[in-house]
Amino acid sequence: MRTHRNALGWSQAELAERVGVDKRQIRRYEAGETQPALNVARSIARALSITVDELAGEESHRPDLTGEWWACWQSWQDGRETINPQRIAIRPLKGDIYQVATVTRGTPLEEGGYTWQGELRLWDDDVLMGWYVGNEAAVRSKGTMYFVLHTHGRRMAGRWVGKSHDGDVMTGLGAIARTEEDVMALIDELKKQGGAT
């Protein structure tokens, strides 16, 4: 419970409020002093976007997507290709749905960089599909994302389709990995292979 709560950045009081119990109960559950009743366990699991089995300590085979990643996008500005790496954060929302948002802009705004947010849904533990929208008033970019998760869950390769500076329906390669070095290597690999991994 503590691990999942910390991954979401919540205090014991925040989790208690979402579940509808006193924060001292959460402390007792995490310390192993007492076990929650089944209905409370279900509420805790829902709040943490995990299963009751995972809450009880059963090993999960679901990939761990939570945390900071690096994303890299192939896009165009005035017909010129740009490669934009930036740090992003992925947080569970509910079930297989994750919130994704930029931590850094990557490329300056004048050169086509912007901050954005969106959601991704994990399908069959190997495909992520979702949407994104620019956060800044001057940026009208929005669209969809599709990623195939690597077998070990350390990187994702895919594509975006959406509205951008150069047109209403544009597309480009996308890559997500745990480090900037890995994401740049992956985007280079995708470009050399014409988008296939």
Mean pLDDT throughout 71-79?
87
* Domain ranges, ordered by start, for the chain: 2-55, 67-192
Looking at the domain that runs over 2-55, which CATH code has it been given? 1.10.260.40
pTM assigned to the model: 0.70
Instruction: Share the mean pLDDT of the chain.
Output: 88
The predicted pLDDT at position 183 comes to: 96
Q: How confident is the model at residue 196 (pLDDT cuts 50, 70, 90)?
A: low
User: Going by C-beta distance under 8 Å and a sequence separation of 6 or more, which residues neighbour residue 118?
Assistant: 99, 100, 101, 130, 131, 132, 133, 145
The residues that bridge with 171 in the sheet, in sequence order, are: 161
The predicted pLDDT at position 59 comes to: 66
How far are the Cα atoms of 3, 32, 86, 194 from residue 178, in angstroms, in the given order?
19, 33, 11, 23
SS3 186: helix
Residues 81-135 have pLDDT tens digits of 888 899 999 998 877 899 999 999 887 877 777 899 999 999 988 999 999 999 8
Task: Please state which CATH class domain 67-192 belongs to.
Answer: mainly beta
Integer Cα distance of 101 and 34 in angstroms: 36
